[in-house]
Amino acid sequence: MAGLAGFRSVRGHDAAVSLLRRAIANDRVSSVYLFAGPAGVGKDRLAHALAQTMNCRARTDDGDACGACEICLKTARAMHPDVIVLQRELKDPPKDAARDNARDRAEAEALRTRRREEIPEADLRQNITVEQIEELLTRMPFRPHEGATRWVIFREADRLLPAAANKLLKTLEEPPRDTHFVLVTARPSALLTTIRSRCQTVRFGLLAPDDVAAVLRDGAESLSVDPAHIDDLVALGDGSVGRALEFRDREAHKARQAMVDEVLNALRAGSPGVYVTLGERAKELDRHDLDTVLLLLQRYFRHEALQHASARPRQAAVNAARADIVRDTQSLLDGGATPNVQLVLQAMLVRLREARA
């Protein structure tokens, strides 16, 4: 345990880590941070490391959390009352009253600590609600319980709709004493400008392959990763642990790859009827699966574009254009509003078919 505490538990992101370490050393830790960067690279972990280090009762000589004091242990187990995580809730949360038996308690515990990405999109609310913010604000007048500082970490802060965000605004403007906010997001542009302007932004990039491999190796057991597959997962992950984990389930991966092949076949055959069928099928895919299918398609077209770059430049240009079309589709689906997945996909197929150099 002690080895994996605080900033030591964070792989990569050297610039972000040293910025925060310096802030602690100089007693200039910001009240409101925006952690912005790709999904699945460890932003949330760094937010927790920061909270842990700030509250640790026995920091190491180099200013890191000890990993062994009560505060460190509680923070690592997500049980510290002064580290509040705000994220989208389950549509159908397990009822407190039902937690009387051990199995329900175990389930509730699993839900709390489970990697967020593993909860099917369909089980989650669309956004962080106004009620959640109101509840949070009722806690603000009180001093932190055990820690010297209180931390409020927003996962997927872009899921704060304007109504909820506006409720939060004043508190971000004048944060309660000893309270810090970290807004974590892969889509900073989706946040209100009024919110963003109050944050000190810390940018995250993709991880180096070695760092992705190290995270997967260190967490192999808790992440259910087969050590024999780590190299494959690293290659598929493209610098993101979260993305690498999408490919952990080999059967699911086969199914997605089959969908990719169908799309490519449909493009070659080119009968619009197939597009409708494919669009309908895509509508039924889990959001993560759909994301992954689009990612694989994008990667295929980019690979083709590179492959033909010198010998068949026209072919290469068509494939580059196709990769862009898939990327645009992805951002459209990420856009926050609930798009009609089937129509968006059908439109993508038509554009892919018509793509010209």
CB 90 within 8 Å of CB 125: yes
Q: Nearer to Zn ion by C-beta: 56 or 316?
A: 56
Distance of closest approach, residue 242 Cβ to Zn ion, in angstroms: 27
Q: Nearer to Zn ion by C-beta: 57 or 353?
A: 57
Q: Nearer to Zn ion by C-beta: 72 or 152?
A: 72
Q: Which of 218, 246, 219, 214 lies closest to 231, judged by CA?
A: 214
The amino acid present at 323, given as its one-letter code, is: A
Distance of closest approach, residue 78 Cβ to Zn ion, in angstroms: 15
Distance of closest approach, residue 60 Cβ to Zn ion, in angstroms: 9
Q: Nearer to Zn ion by C-beta: 58 or 163?
A: 58
Q: Nearer to Zn ion by C-beta: 66 or 233?
A: 66
SS3 160: strand
**Cα separation, 283 vs 132, whole angstroms:** 30
The amino acid present at 290, given as its one-letter code, is: L
Q: Nearer to Zn ion by C-beta: 78 or 169?
A: 78
Q: Which of 34, 66, 293, 348 forms a contact with Zn ion (CB under 5 A)?
A: 66
Q: Which of 41, 49, 54, 69 forms a contact with Zn ion (CB under 5 A)?
A: 69
**Could you tell me the sign of the dihedral formed by the alpha carbons of 261, 321, 241, 85, in that order?**
negative
Q: Which range touches Zn ion (CB under 5 A), out of 71-79, 118-126, 259-267, 336-344?
A: 71-79
Q: Which residues of 295-309 are buried (b: 16+ CB within 10 A; e: fewer)?
A: bbbbebbbebbeebe
If one asks whether residue 165 binds Zn ion (CB under 5 A), the answer comes out as no
Distance of closest approach, residue 184 Cβ to Zn ion, in angstroms: 22
Q: Which range touches Zn ion (CB under 5 A), out of 15-23, 70-78, 135-143, 329-337?
A: 70-78
Distance of closest approach, residue 149 Cβ to Zn ion, in angstroms: 14
If one asks whether residue 72 binds Zn ion (CB under 5 A), the answer comes out as yes
If one asks whether residue 76 binds Zn ion (CB under 5 A), the answer comes out as no
Q: Which range touches Zn ion (CB under 5 A), out of 39-47, 67-75, 163-171, 233-241?
A: 67-75
Distance of CA 109 to the CA centre of its chain: 21
Give the number of residues in contact with Zn ion, rule: CB under 5 A: 5
Contacts of 84 (CB under 8 A, 6+ apart): 136, 139, 150, 151, 152, 153
Q: Nearer to Zn ion by C-beta: 55 or 171?
A: 55
Distance of closest approach, residue 85 Cβ to Zn ion, in angstroms: 19
Find the Cα–Cα–Cα–Cα dihedral 12, 13, 19, 24, rounded to 10°. -50
Q: What are phi and psi of 177, to 5 degrees?
A: -55, 140
Q: Which of 190, 233, 241, 342 lies closest to 12, judged by CA?
A: 241
Distance of closest approach, residue 68 Cβ to Zn ion, in angstroms: 6
Q: Nearer to Zn ion by C-beta: 2 or 130?
A: 2
Residues of span 44-63 touching Zn ion by CB under 5 A? 56
Q: Print the SS3 string covering 87-154.
A: CCCECCCCCHHHHHCHHHHHHHHHHHHCCHHHCCHHHECCCECHHHHHHHHHHCCCCCCCCCCEEEEE
Distance of closest approach, residue 67 Cβ to Zn ion, in angstroms: 6
Q: Nearer to Zn ion by C-beta: 37 or 144?
A: 144
**Cα separation, 48 vs 52, whole angstroms:** 6
Q: Which residues bind Zn ion (CB under 5 A)?
A: 56, 65-66, 69, 72
